[in-house]
Amino acid sequence: MKVTPTKIPDILIIEPQVFSDDRGFFFESFNGKSFQEKTGLNINFVQDNHSRSSQNVLRGLHYQIKQPQAKLVRVIAGEILDIGVDIRKSSPTFGQWVGVILSAENKQQLLIPEGFAHGFLVLSETADVLYKTNNYYNKEFDRAIRWNDPDININWNSKTSPILSEKDQNAPFLKDAEIFD
Set out the domains of the chain in order of their start, with CATH numbers.
Answer: 2-176 (2.60.120.10)
Give the chain's mean pLDDT.
Answer: 97
Statement: residue 158 has pLDDT above 90: no
pLDDT level of residue 127 (50, 70, 90 thresholds): very high
Which residues, including other chains, have CB under 8 Å from residue 23's CB and lie 6 or more apart?
Answer: none
| Each residue's pLDDT tens digit, 12-69 | 999 999 999 999 999 999 999 999 999 999 999 999 999 999 999 999 999 999 999 9
Predicted model pTM: 0.95
Q: What are the Cα distances from residue 74, in Å, to 83, 89, 95, 110, 142?
A: 12, 27, 23, 7, 21
Report pLDDT for 42: 95
CA 8 to chain CA mean position, Å:
13
| Each residue's pLDDT tens digit, 91-118 | 999 999 999 999 999 999 999 999 999 9
For the question of residue 131 being annotated catalytic, the response is yes
Among candidate residues 50, 118, 131, 136, the one labeled active-site is 131
Statement: residue 159 has pLDDT above 90: no
For the question of residue 118 being annotated catalytic, the response is no
**Alpha-carbon torsion, ordered 128, 131, 137, 139, to 10 deg:** -40
Among candidate residues 50, 62, 63, 136, the one labeled active-site is 62
Its sign, for the CA torsion 86, 131, 75, 120, is negative
